[in-house]
């Protein structure tokens, strides 16, 4: 690691912007004009434009004690473009605005941008603008992602149909358990700074927390199979809270089966170390950035081709409510917090 420290003030605002954006090579034909003018120019050639924006505040959304800056840059981009994929669109451009205090050196900011550009490369998006400001306290990150979709092929949350299958990508709950480990080690570090962190063997859950991926592969798979989900969103707050959104906005109920919820082996073992229920983590943990979507039953045969997709339940009449059937066969209403497994578990 480099020990030199360059003060950001030594470059000035324009020098800093030039430095941060000097290596941009535009990847999309839709990016007509990128960084360097009053605004970027984008031409989506007859497609519709999808836009999503996120504000990330130090101490609220991330903790620099255990988040390497490169990971933070990468994750900031990933969580933003995950919203574009969740519309069944392809992200093409981002803008990134930052507020930085003088605690940050140029070297620190370079690390952050290394992560940003790594994500831009991986997902094929162009950084086309932003804004740079000083901040009194804490690191502030504002991201806007722009994407494209064929006319009227975007997928909303409100259009699920009764009888549709409820699907999720990947596995759930791991990022939350990763966060528990990081928070535990932070507490130990604050109480006794000499103690080395003990995160041995927890790379799966910690990786899910610090370096999530957006499910570009699932959107591409669905497109190749010519399956258009009836409703879709990404899972940032846990399965329970998200399925409740789809049910409320689609004016339907649903049934989710506990034994169908995808849970990774390392996540299960890690949850047991904290004596918490892996299902509860999947339902109420956050930051998985997997996709939750509904498809007509007729598309089932195409979906089973992909091991990264699990069917976890189906949509019902609104009067049936939003329920989970536990492994023991009992039925409980889902709430935004999951369900109270301590009192209800049978």
Q: Which is nearer to ligand ADP, 35 or 324 (CB)?
A: 35
Work out whether 98 is an interface residue with ligand ADP (CB under 6 A): yes
For Mg ion, which stretch binds (CB under 5 A), given 29-37, 131-139, 140-148, 233-241?
Answer: 131-139
Rounded to a whole number of angstroms, the CA Rg of the chain reads 21
Site string for Mg ion, 274-313 (x = CB under 5 A): ----------------------------------------
Helix (H) or strand (E) holding 42: strand 41-42
Tally of CB atoms within 10 A around 147 = 26
Segment 182-221, which members bind ligand ADP (CB under 6 A)? none
Residue 86: phi and psi, rounded to 5, are -65, -15
Work out whether 8 is an interface residue with ligand ADP (CB under 6 A): no
Work out whether 17 is an interface residue with ligand ADP (CB under 6 A): yes
What's the rounded Cα separation, in Å, for the pair 180 and 39? 41
Tally of CB atoms within 10 A around 297 = 12
Q: Which of 43, 131, 198, 317 binds Mg ion (CB under 5 A)?
A: 131
For ligand ADP, which stretch binds (CB under 6 A), given 34-42, 152-160, 208-216, 250-258?
Answer: 34-42
What's the rounded Cα separation, in Å, for the pair 318 and 113? 46
Tally of CB atoms within 10 A around 37 = 9
Work out whether 20 is an interface residue with ligand ADP (CB under 6 A): yes
Angle at 100 between CA 99 and CA 104, to 5 degrees: 160
DSSP state of 161: -
Q: Which is nearer to Mg ion, 131 or 317 (CB)?
A: 131
Asked whether the CA dihedral 67, 71, 74, 79 is positive or negative, the reply is: negative
Structure token pair of residue 85: 């994929």
Q: Which of 73, 99, 115, 130 binds ligand ADP (CB under 6 A)?
A: 130
253-257 and 140-149 as β-strands: parallel, antiparallel, unpaired?
A: unpaired
What's the rounded Cα separation, in Å, for the pair 55 and 143? 7
Structure token pair of residue 327: 């492994």
Site string for Mg ion, 79-118 (x = CB under 5 A): ----------------------------------------
For ligand ADP, which stretch binds (CB under 6 A), given 16-24, 166-174, 255-263, 325-333?
Answer: 16-24
For ligand ADP, which stretch binds (CB under 6 A), given 17-25, 175-183, 192-200, 291-299?
Answer: 17-25
What's the rounded Cα separation, in Å, for the pair 343 and 77? 39
Asked whether the CA dihedral 303, 307, 309, 314 is positive or negative, the reply is: positive
Q: Which is nearer to Mg ion, 20 or 179 (CB)?
A: 20
Q: In angstroms, give the least distance from the CB of 132 to Mg ion.
A: 7
Q: In angstroms, give the least distance from the CB of 11 to ligand ADP.
A: 12
Q: In angstroms, give the least distance from the CB of 130 to Mg ion.
A: 8
What's the rounded Cα separation, in Å, for the pair 315 and 214? 25
Q: Which of 25, 38, 152, 191 binds ligand ADP (CB under 6 A)?
A: 38
Q: Which of 8, 81, 125, 127 binds ligand ADP (CB under 6 A)?
A: 127
Q: Which is nearer to ligand ADP, 145 or 334 (CB)?
A: 145
Q: In angstroms, give the least distance from the CB of 26 to ligand ADP.
A: 13
Q: In angstroms, give the least distance from the CB of 95 to ligand ADP.
A: 6
What's the rounded Cα separation, in Å, for the pair 140 and 191? 27
Expressed in angstroms, the distance from the first to the final Cα of the chain is 53
Residues engaged in binding ligand ADP (CB under 6 A) = 17, 20-21, 35-38, 96, 98, 127, 129-132
Residues engaged in binding Mg ion (CB under 5 A) = 131
């Amino acid at each position: 690691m480099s020990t030199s420290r360059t003060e950001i003030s030594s470059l000035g605002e324009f020098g800093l912007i030039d430095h941060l954006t000097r290596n941009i090579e535009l990847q999309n034909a839709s990016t007509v004009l990128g960084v360097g003018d009053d605004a970027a120019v984008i031409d989506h050639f007859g497609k519709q434009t999808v836009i999503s924006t996120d504000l990330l505040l130090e101490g609220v959304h991330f903790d620099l004690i255990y988040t390497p800056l490169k990971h933070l840059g990468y994750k900031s981009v990933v969580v933003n473009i995950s919203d574009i994929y969740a519309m069944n669109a392809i992200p093409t451009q981002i803008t990134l605005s930052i507020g930085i205090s003088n605690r940050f050196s140029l070297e620190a900011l370079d690390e952050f941008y290394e992560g940003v550009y790594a994500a831009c490369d991986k997902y094929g998006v162009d950084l086309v603008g932003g804004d740079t400001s000083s901040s009194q306290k804490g690191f502030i990150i504002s991201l806007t992602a722009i994407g494209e979709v064929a006319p009227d092929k975007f997928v909303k949350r409100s259009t699920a149909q009764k009888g549709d299958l409820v699907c999720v990508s990947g596995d759930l709950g791991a990022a939350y358990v990763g966060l528990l480990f990081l928070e535990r080690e932070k507490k130990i570090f604050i109480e006794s700074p000499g103690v080395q962190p003990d995160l041995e063997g927890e790379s799966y859950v910690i990786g899910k927390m610090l370096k999530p991926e957006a499910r570009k592969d699932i959107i591409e798979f669905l497109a190749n199979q010519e399956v258009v989900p009836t409703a879709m969103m990404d899972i940032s707050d846990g399965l329970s809270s998200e399925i409740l959104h789809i049910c409320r906005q689609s004016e339907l109920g649903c049934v989710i089966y506990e034994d169908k919820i995808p849970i990774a082996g390392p996540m299960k073992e890690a949850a047991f170390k904290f004596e918490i229920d892996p299902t509860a983590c999947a339902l109420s943990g956050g930051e998985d950035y997997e996709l939750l979507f509904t498809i007509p039953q007729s598309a089932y045969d195409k979906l089973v081709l992909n091991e990264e997709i699990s069917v976890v339940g189906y949509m019902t009449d609104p009067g049936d409510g939003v329920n989970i059937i536990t492994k023991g066969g009992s039925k409980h209403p889902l709430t935004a917090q999951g369900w109270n497994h301590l009192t209800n578990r049978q």
